[in-house]
Structure 1
């Protein structure tokens, strides 16, 4: 098991952050990591996600939504080929502070026999993708707050 975990404080209410995060049709406008996402963000739905890892070709995954808790959590789980080869559970967790800012914890839990062989890709490229997305989400949400 391996986990990548990032955290960012966004100066916008949790509703704003949630609305941007779940407005998947607009991802191509601002999201450098998840270039597109197609499908319904409802539990048990299969979605199509186009990921752009730093310095890599885009790749398409088809994970299953495992949790949607409005203004709190969005979580999906995907795998490469068969279960146990390379599985990833992608998680966005939101919490609002008293000052109307939002803490986003953006993480992914990886498991399977291929994880040790992909350590460098995960620690460098995937982490960089998370951080780029976090910064872009922050910028977009804070700009909306100012409107």
Structure 2
């Protein structure tokens, strides 16, 4: 098992952050990590996400299943490489109202037999998480 995370404080209420975070069709306008996305943030739905690794620029597409949404506080999905327990990622965005704004925690727990062999991809993903949370902050605070 391996966990990665990134967090940021955004000077806006959780509802505004949620609106940007779940507007998947517009990710390509602002998101440097999840550069293309489609789908609806509702439990049971499949998303289509293209991510770009920061160091190599390599792109990969995965189709996670939304497990949980609690608007405007929690979005969680699970992505898999092939069959269960090979390489699974449980991804979460947690939004908490704090000090007149929103604390955003993005995290992912990777499990499966391939995790020990994917250190480079996981490390690059962790860097990508930081880029995503900072870009989310800029997008929301700019009012676009």
1:42-121 alignment runs, 5 A limit:
42-54=42-54, 55-97=56-98, 99-121=99-121
Q: Distance in 2 between matches of 1:72 and 1:25?
A: 20
SS at match of 1:27: helix
1:24 Cα deviation after fit: 1.0
> In structure 2, what is the equivalent of residue 138 of structure 1?
137
1:100 Cα deviation after fit: 1.6
> In structure 2, what is the equivalent of residue 38 of structure 1?
38
SS at match of 1:15: helix
1:56 Cα deviation after fit: 3.5
1:120 Cα deviation after fit: 2.9
Contact 1:14–1:100 (Cα < 8 Å) also in 2: no
SS at match of 2:40: coil
RMSD of Structure 2 on Structure 1 (CA) = 1.1
> In structure 2, what is the equivalent of residue 126 of structure 1?
125
Gaps of at least 5 residues in structure 1 are: none
SS at match of 1:126: helix
1:121 Cα deviation after fit: 2.3
1:117 Cα deviation after fit: 0.9
Residue deviations 1:5-56 (CA, integer Å, cap 9, x gap):
1111111111111111011111110000111111121101111111111113
Using the size of structure 2 for normalisation, the TM-score is 0.95
Gaps of at least 5 residues in structure 2 are: none
